[in-house]
Amino acid sequence: MTSRTDLLSALSGIVGERYVLTTAEDTAPYATDWKRSTTGVPACVVRPASTAQVAAIVRLCGDSGISIVPQGGNTGLAAGAIPDTTGSQVVLSLNRMQTIRSLDPIGMTVEVEAGAILQTVREKAASMDRMLPIAIAAEGSATVGGVIATNAGGLNVLRYGMTRDITLGLEVVLADGSVSNGLRHLRKDNAGYDWKQWFIGSEGTLGIVTAAVLRLVSVPRYSVTALLSVSSLEAAISLFGHAQQEIGEALSAFELISANSLDLVSRHAHLKPPITAGDWFILLEGASSLSGLRDAAEGVLAGGFESGWVIDGVVAESEAQARQLWALREHVTEAEARDGPSLKHDISVSLTHLREFLDDAEAALVDAAPGAGLNIFGHLGDGNLHYNVLFRPDHDQKAINRIVHDAVIKHGGSISAEHGLGQYRVDEWLRLAPESDLRLASTLKTALDPSGLLNPGKILPFSLLHTKAIRGVN
């Protein structure tokens, strides 16, 4: 093991002394997660400026048996980029690697370094009349590498898919310090394994993404945004089916917001919805390059009223009004944080089982955590709900997590739809995942990171690697 003094000296030799942060004041922004729920103690924070520097850091730490925690914009919601409290892990921040290497408006691709801010890349694409279809609330801070490492979802998944569906190629530094360059600007490439998929969503546990090629799309020339109140969850799902049938691929967002969520936004963000009736609300957005979208969308709404699914609704008459409607959705998380502590559950359940899941989870919570509040909102179009429980100090938080996750698994869902496992959900995944999934994860981790030095403790604890007894975790 290299001494700390020798480590800091060697790292400074790679990136320069000013880019090795050691004081508590300098490392603090890198040591606490976005939710302020998890704080670690890094040995230091190192900020490389190139792929070659990342590779050199990985080789140095590997030779010294020192763990590395890769970090992008630190906007994750599962504490997946935070070190432990031992003071022995190096945080490797990619926030100096921000170059947009190329943008091809004809081939519809952008090649960009991992530390580039998502919003910056989206703005660059927009300046050439193209769109990077990854839209998340934290796009002003989130980095491309972090978005890829977590396979971020967001508001456009319904139409364009997850980050995995938008990533064409990767450049990755492996655990031995070697560099795999797969920066191909190709839609079709069936030559061998599609190894980039191993690293998308791996949360930095298998390799460190240093650059990517992402798919662009045309900027829609017409859009329509509407806020609707519906008579029930079943009505919302029926309306979604109707919208899919009538406007199909033009449907870019179909967000579900509970009345409780809008009440939080009204009280804490002082934003008033233009309609009030109903227990559930839908924020619908359509976008297209062809004219006629608004008439088609208004036909969908008319059908919703005629069928009794829609109680009330408003259609934005301008871009400013559309932004005001979206602000209601985008302030839900902030309003929840201001209301008090909560347990966040990023779950997905098929629409056919969503009602049963909600009924089972709520019934169990009434018994186990009386008086707990619920803040339910999310991306109904792809079955992803943020099922957040506003708990009291006397409630058993671990029991609440188990109740929600057990209900999710019972109905064939996932306990992490888009936020990843990080530190926050590892124990629950180990408890609930099929043993075959755990064995495959262990095999892949062992093959690519045999010493377990890349982001240890995330997704699969090192204690479970190289073992035959996967099950039996508390």
Tokens of 213: 């090629």
The one-letter amino acid code at 439 reads: R
The pLDDT of residue 469 is above 50: no
Closest CA to 353 of 283, 310, 410, 406: 410
How high is the pLDDT of residue 197?
96
Tens-digit pLDDT profile for residues 370-379: 999 999 999 9
**Residues whose CB is less than 8 angstroms from the CB of residue 2 and which lie 6 or more positions away in sequence, other chains included:** 10, 64, 66
C-alpha 429/C-alpha 470 separation (Å) is 12
Tens-digit pLDDT profile for residues 367-402: 999 999 999 999 999 999 999 999 999 999 999 999
C-alpha 99/C-alpha 116 separation (Å) is 6
**CATH number of the structural domain spanning residue 70:** 3.30.43.10
How high is the pLDDT of residue 463?
55
Write the DSSP symbol of residue 102.
Answer: E
Tens-digit pLDDT profile for residues 188-245: 999 999 999 999 999 999 999 999 999 999 999 999 999 999 999 999 999 999 999 9
Which pLDDT band, with edges at 50, 70 and 90, does 37 fall under?
A: confident
**CATH number of the structural domain spanning residue 229:** 3.30.70.2190
How high is the pLDDT of residue 472?
41
Within a domain: 20: yes
Which pLDDT band, with edges at 50, 70 and 90, does 464 fall under?
A: low
Tokens of 396: 């058993």
Both 50 and 79 in one domain: the answer is yes
Q: What is the CA radius of gyration of the chain?
A: 23
Q: Nearest 5°: phi and psi at 140?
A: -75, -10
Average pLDDT over residues 357-366: 96
Within a domain: 353: yes
Tens-digit pLDDT profile for residues 268-292: 999 999 998 889 999 999 999 889 9
Both 226 and 211 in one domain: the answer is no
User: For tokens 């972090």, what's the residue?
Assistant: 146
Within a domain: 427: no
C-alpha 99/C-alpha 114 separation (Å) is 8
Average pLDDT over residues 401-420: 96
**CATH number of the structural domain spanning residue 117:** 3.30.465.10
Structural domain of 316: 222-333
Tens-digit pLDDT profile for residues 242-260: 999 999 889 999 999 999 9
The pLDDT of residue 2 is above 70: no
Note if the pTM is more than 0.75: yes
The pLDDT of residue 473 is above 70: no
Three-state DSSP class for 37? Answer: coil
CA atoms within 13 A on the CB side of 407: 21
Q: What is the pLDDT of the chain when averaged over all its residues? A: 93
Contact 58, 173 (CB under 8 A): yes
Contact 242, 300 (CB under 8 A): yes
The count of structural domains within the chain is 5
Tens-digit pLDDT profile for residues 52-83: 999 999 999 999 999 999 999 998 888 889 99
Tokens of 131: 């769109």
Distance of CA 178 to the CA centre of its chain: 28
Within a domain: 428: no
Torsion on CA atoms 349, 350, 352, 357, rounded to nearest 10: -10
